[in-house]
Amino acid sequence: MNSRPARTAARDSGAARSGGARATGGSGVNQPEPEPLALFDDLDAVAPPAPPAPPAPRRSEGRARRPASQSDEPGLSPESAISVAALTLATRDIIEGAVEPLWIRGEVVGLKEHRKGHWYFTLKDASAQIRCVMWATDARRALAAPDEGMTITALGKLTVFAARGELQLRILRIEASGDGLWRKAFEKIHQKLEAEGLFAPERKRLLPMLPTCIAVVTSTDGAALHDVVSVVHRRCPITRVVVAHATVQGDGAAGSIVTALHRVARWGKADVVILGRGGGSREDLWAFNDERVVRATAGMPIPVIAAIGHEVDVTLCDLAADLRAATPSAAAEAAAPRLTDLVRHVRTLGADLRDAALARVGTARERLTAAGVSVARAASHPVERRRLALEGIAGRLHALSPLATLARGYAVLTDGEGAPVTSVASLDPGDAFVARLRDGRIHGRAERTERLGEEVNE
Amino acid sequence: MSFEKKVQRLEEIVRALESKDMSLEKGLKLFEEGIACLRDASTELSKAEAAVQVLRERTDGILEATDLRA
């Protein structure tokens, strides 16, 4: 933007124009001349090429020739008449110096976007209007250009557009009034990414049954991390939790989240990622609607669970993720299975396997019998192979049963009634017991019992 | 093979063994495989408790996970 260097130059060359100096500078009493260069600032609003600097007002020459008097003050006599530029500049300085940036609410009319990204429009209400300019650098930070007729709340610095002699508001920020701008920005990105298929249901992946490692992209200072960690630890303590820190709100949040997601992807050891933060205002959560963040979410090589706030509308990251959870805790519950459930499931499968194998053996035996074949007589026959297979399978079933443990030299004790003896308290001295071993039983009686670390009971 | 794959395979094996039309030899092979899956899956479920770590990028660009409170 041309206006920036011009203004800086003016500030550097002039005698340190503080706010106060500006306010009085316009009155032209004992202050240095307003810098003509500063005029470029306004001219730029219409046409980027800056015109040559207007000649400096002659005031100072006159003052140098004659002693100062009331009638010599600029503009107080026909001789000391001032230029239009000097007047508008002085007016601008007075206005700029006297009025701090203000929040103004009004309806947007006639918005034009300059090819360089500046916005020109008028803010009006029932009885008044004011011309506005939003420079590209400021406009870029706005969510979206306001629509015709949209009511906005804007922070603006009052100034004078010298080239037209108009009062002008330089808009620094636009807040979305009645959430029109938010929705507009949201819908713009939503439409674009939806057209690319980023939110398509067929893109959604299933979560792993038992994640080895859950990555969490969030702030290491936030409550979200704590919630995730405690839920995962409670449900599935063998699952590793690795956090990739990201700033989740404010300036730079979007870039930070994208970096953290990429880090997780590049690391490659996590098998699911939770992207989240606790609740927040729409403004707090806006980074999760940023196109870069949404794209990074959709592009993750592992399933993503989004857990972003829960008080406001859905974010685009929620839509791009494989699963949306209301809170970080809910995301952790979705990601981490209950370990006890898995253990039970595997045990059940083991039992099913055993039953199915036994049934198989049973069937094979029936077939052999039905065929009326004597196994001993058919040693050279394929049937013999079946017999060997039967023995083999029996051996493997054996490995699953407590009998295998006995074979290794252990014994199982039962009391006189056949109930298992698992504690010294189960027997009193003199009680009968049965020890079951690999090849038979031993019947005996307890002589005395000793609990570990306790006195002998006789 | 992931835990999930092992469990899925185990389920397949059980279903296959439960269906009647299969040679005993094939059944035996499946059973063996099932036992192996079962053992692996159980081992995975009895791993040690895992710690919480932070994924950091070193100055040389290498990513490493270090304990959170370290």
Residues A15 and A85 in one domain: yes
Residue A220: its chain B contacts at CB < 8 A? 54, 68
CA gap A100, A78 in Å, rounded = 35
First-to-final CA distance of chain B: 32
Q: Is residue A219 part of a domain?
A: yes
Number of separate domains in chain A: 5
The residue type found at A17 is: R
Residues A293 and A306 in one domain: yes
Q: For A386-409, what is each residue's pLDDT tens digit?
A: 555 655 555 555 555 555 555 556
Q: Is the pLDDT of residue A258 over 90?
A: yes
Q: Is residue A37 part of a domain?
A: yes
- A381 part of contact set with chain B, CB < 8 Å: no
Q: Would you place residue A83 in the very low, low, confident or very high pLDDT band (cuts 50, 70, 90)?
A: very high
Beta carbons of A273 and A208 less than 8 angstroms apart: no
Beta carbons of A245 and A219 less than 8 angstroms apart: yes
SS (H, E, C) chain B: CCHHHHHHHHHHHHHHHHCCCCCHHHHHHHHHHHHHHHHHHHHHHCCCCCCEEEEEECCCCCEEEEECCC
Closest approach of chain A CAs to the CA of B39, in angstroms? Answer: 9
Nearest-CA neighbor of A336 among A449, A234, A225? A234
Among A2-11, A174-183, A361-370, A396-405, which stretch is predicted with the lowest mean pLDDT?
Answer: A2-11
Q: ∠ CA(A104), CA(A105), CA(A109), 5° rounding?
A: 110
Q: For A352-376, what is each residue's pLDDT tens digit?
A: 888 887 777 766 666 656 555 444 4
CA dihedral A392, A395, A400, A404 (to 10 degrees): -160
Looking up tokens 């397949």 gives: B12
Q: Is residue A185 part of a domain?
A: no
What's the rounded mean pLDDT across residues A180-195? 85
Q: For B31-50, what is each residue's pLDDT tens digit?
A: 888 888 888 888 888 888 88
Beta carbons of A446 and A428 less than 8 angstroms apart: yes
Residues A212 and A321 in one domain: yes
Residues A233 and A330 in one domain: yes
- B20 part of contact set with chain A, CB < 8 Å: yes
Q: Is residue A184 part of a domain?
A: no
Write down the mean pLDDT value for chain A: 77
Share of chain A above pLDDT 90, in %: 37
What local confidence, expressed as pLDDT, does residue A365 receive? 64
Residues A205 and A332 in one domain: yes
Residue A349: its chain B contacts at CB < 8 A? 7, 10-11, 14, 38, 41
Q: Verify whether the Cβ–Cβ distance A343 to B45 is below 8 Å.
A: yes
Among A164-168, A357-361, A454-458, B40-44, which stretch is predicted with the lowest mean pLDDT?
Answer: A454-458
Among A22-26, A102-106, A333-337, A432-436, which stretch is predicted with the lowest mean pLDDT?
Answer: A22-26
Highest mean pLDDT among A195-209, A346-360, A376-390, B12-26 belongs to: A195-209
What local confidence, expressed as pLDDT, does residue A122 receive? 94
CA dihedral A187, A191, A197, A199 (to 10 degrees): 10
Share of chain A above pLDDT 70, in %: 70
Looking up tokens 């995975």 gives: B44
Give me the domain span that covers residue A419: 412-457
Q: Kindly report the number of other CB atoms within 10 A of residue A413's CB atom.
A: 17
- B68 part of contact set with chain A, CB < 8 Å: yes
Residues A377 and A439 in one domain: no
Q: Verify whether the Cβ–Cβ distance B31 to A396 is below 8 Å.
A: yes
Q: Is residue A23 part of a domain?
A: yes
Q: Could you tell me which residues are beta bridge partners of residue A130?
A: A123
Of the three residues A73, A98, A123, the one that is the final residue of a domain is: A98
Residues A229 and A139 in one domain: no
- Residue with the bigger pLDDT between B58 and A95: it is A95
Residues A253 and A129 in one domain: no
- B59 part of contact set with chain A, CB < 8 Å: no
The H-or-E segment that residue A259 falls in is helix A253-267
Residue B3: its chain A contacts at CB < 8 A? 209-210, 342
Q: For A273-289, what is each residue's pLDDT tens digit?
A: 999 887 777 777 888 99
* The token pair that represents A400 in the structure block: 């699953």
- A220 part of contact set with chain B, CB < 8 Å: yes
What's the rounded mean pLDDT across residues A228-248? 93
Q: Is residue A289 part of a domain?
A: yes
Inter-axis angle of helices A253-267 and A291-298, to 10 degrees?
20
What's the rounded mean pLDDT across residues A93-114? 92
Of the three residues A337, A361, A380, the one that is the final residue of a domain is: A337
Of the three residues A63, A98, A133, the one that is the final residue of a domain is: A98
Q: What is the pTM of this model?
A: 0.58
Residue B22: its chain A contacts at CB < 8 A? 360
Residues A240 and A124 in one domain: no
All residues at 6 or more sequence positions from A44 whose CB lies less than 8 Å from its CB, including other chains? A1, A2, A3, A6, A50
CB neighbour burial string for A33-71, b if at least 16 within 10 angstroms, e if fewer: ebbbbbbbbbbbbeeeeeeeeeeebebeeeeeeeeeeee
User: Does residue A221 come out as left (phi exceeding 0), alpha (psi in the -120 to 50 range) or beta?
Assistant: alpha
What's the rounded mean pLDDT across residues A151-166? 91
Out of A352, A385, A396, the one facing B32 most closely (by C-beta) is A396
Nearest-CA neighbor of A307 among A321, A290, A288, A326? A326
The residue type found at A123 is: L
What local confidence, expressed as pLDDT, does residue A93 receive? 93
Q: Verify whether the Cβ–Cβ distance B55 to A215 is below 8 Å.
A: yes
All residues at 6 or more sequence positions from A352 whose CB lies less than 8 Å from its CB, including other chains? B14, B18
Give the residue from A238, A245, A259, A360 with the most B CB atoms within 10 Å of its CB, the best one to mutate.
A360
Highest mean pLDDT among A46-60, A102-116, A179-193, A280-294 belongs to: A102-116
Residues A224 and A328 in one domain: yes
Residue A385: its chain B contacts at CB < 8 A? 25
- B60 part of contact set with chain A, CB < 8 Å: no
Out of B27, B45, B55, the one facing A267 most closely (by C-beta) is B55
Residues A10 and A73 in one domain: yes
Residues A305 and A421 in one domain: no
Tell me the three state secondary structure of residue A302. Answer: coil
What local confidence, expressed as pLDDT, does residue A400 receive? 52
Question: What number of CA atoms fall less than 13 Å from residue B3's CA on the CB side?
Answer: 23
Nearest-CA neighbor of A91 among A38, A16, A133? A38
Q: Would you place residue A302 in the very low, low, confident or very high pLDDT band (cuts 50, 70, 90)?
A: very high
Pairs across A and B, CB distance < 8 A: 114
Question: What's the complex ipTM?
Answer: 0.83
| B40: closest chain A residue by CA | A346
The CATH code of the domain that includes A290 is 3.40.50.261
The CATH code of the domain that includes A134 is 2.40.50.140
